[in-house]
Amino acid sequence: MSQNIFSNLNKYNQSQRLAHIRYDIRGPIFDKATELEAAGHKIIRLNIGNPAPFGFDAPQTVVDAMANNLRRSQGYSHHLGIMSARQAVVEYAKKQCIEGVTTDHVFIGNGVSELILMTMQAIIDAGDEILVPSPDYPLWTAAVGLSGGTAVHYLCDEQADWYPDIADMKSKITPKTKGIVIINPNNPTGAVYPSEIVRSIVELAAEHKLIVFSDEIYDKVLYDDNVHYPTATFDNKVLVLTYGGISKNCMAAGFRGGWLIVSGPVSEAKRILEGLNLLASLRLCANVPTQQAIAVALSDDSQIKSLTSSTGRLSIQRDLIYDMITQIPGVSCIKPKGALYLFPKIDLSRFSFDDDEEFAFDLLSKQHVLIVAGKGFNYLYKDHFRIVFLPNETLLSDAGVRIGAYLDGRRV
Sheet strand arrangement including 385-388: 341-342, 385-388, 372-373
Return the residue nearest ligand PLP (CB atom).
111
49 near ligand PLP (CB under 6 A): yes
56 near ligand PLP (CB under 6 A): no
314 near ligand PLP (CB under 6 A): no
Give the nearer residue to ligand PLP in terms of CB position, either 341 or 353.
341
81 near ligand PLP (CB under 6 A): no
97-132: burial string, b at 16+ Cβ within 10 Å, e else: ebeebeeebbbbbbbbbbbbbbbbbbbbeeebbbbb
**SS3 label, residue 214:** strand
Report whether 386 contacts 395 (CB < 8 A).
Answer: no
222 near ligand PLP (CB under 6 A): no
Q: Which of 30, 56, 137, 223 binds ligand PLP (CB under 6 A)?
A: 137
183 near ligand PLP (CB under 6 A): yes
State the Cα angle at 116 between 110 and 118, rounded to 5°: 80
* Maximal CA-CA distance, the chain: 78
258 near ligand PLP (CB under 6 A): yes
User: Which residues in the 196-215 window bind ligand PLP by CB under 6 A?
Assistant: 215
51 near ligand PLP (CB under 6 A): no
281-320: burial string, b at 16+ Cβ within 10 Å, e else: eeeebbbbbbbbbbbbbbeeeebbeebbeeebbbbbbbeb
**SS3 label, residue 14:** coil
Q: Which of 93, 240, 253, 296 binds ligand PLP (CB under 6 A)?
A: 253
Q: Which of 51, 81, 138, 245 binds ligand PLP (CB under 6 A)?
A: 245
Least CB distance to ligand PLP at residue 118 (A):
12
378 near ligand PLP (CB under 6 A): no
Least CB distance to ligand PLP at residue 183 (A):
5
133 near ligand PLP (CB under 6 A): no
Q: How many binding residues for ligand PLP (CB under 6 A)? A: 13
User: Which residues in the 83-112 window bind ligand PLP by CB under 6 A?
Assistant: 111-112
Give the whole-angstrom CA distance, residue 143 versus residue 10. 26
138 near ligand PLP (CB under 6 A): no
Least CB distance to ligand PLP at residue 218 (A):
7
Least CB distance to ligand PLP at residue 253 (A):
5
Asked if the peptide bond before residue 53 counts as cis, ω within 30 degrees of 0, the response is: no
187 near ligand PLP (CB under 6 A): yes
Give the whole-angstrom CA distance, residue 377 versus residue 47. 12
Q: Who contacts 34 (Cβ-Cβ below 8 Å, separation ≥6)?
A: none
Nearest to 291 by CA among 116, 109, 115: 109
260 near ligand PLP (CB under 6 A): no
Calculate the CA dihedral of residues 81, 87, 92, 94 and round it to 10 degrees: 130
Least CB distance to ligand PLP at residue 312 (A):
20
**SS3 label, residue 45:** strand
132 near ligand PLP (CB under 6 A): no
Least CB distance to ligand PLP at residue 111 (A):
3
Give the whole-angstrom CA distance, residue 154 versus residue 182. 10
121 near ligand PLP (CB under 6 A): no
Instruction: Name the residues that contact ligand PLP, by CB under 6 A.
Output: 49, 111-113, 137, 183, 187, 215, 217, 245, 247, 253, 258
